[in-house]
């Protein structure tokens, strides 16, 4: 198990995840990121708010980015 951080970047805006989530592996972190991104997109759409171009920068405990998830890439997957 490792701690994964899901930092959110949208243009010039950056929200740091200071808590993180304990997950089994990188595949679990990717699944968690996809689920969270879909929930966030659904909320934005429901509210009629602009989607922007949000990206999760996912890091392990050492805060090195291990992958990025562009929300728009999961809209049709």
Q: DSSP code of 19? A: S
Q: Is the pLDDT of residue 77 over 80?
A: no
Torsion of CA 66, 71, 75, 77, to 10 degrees: 0
52 pLDDT band, cuts 50/70/90, is confident
Q: Is the pLDDT of residue 15 over 90?
A: yes
More reliable by pLDDT, 16 or 51: 16
């Amino acid at each position: 198990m490792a701690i994964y951080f899901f930092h959110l970047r949208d243009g010039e805006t950056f929200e740091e995840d200071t808590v993180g989530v304990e997950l089994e592996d990188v595949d679990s972190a990717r699944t968690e990121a996809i689920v969270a991104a879909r929930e966030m997109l659904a909320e934005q759409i429901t509210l009629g708010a602009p989607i922007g171009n949000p990206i999760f920068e996912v890091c392990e405990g050492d805060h090195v980015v291990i992958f990025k998830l562009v929300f728009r890439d999961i809209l049709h997957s």
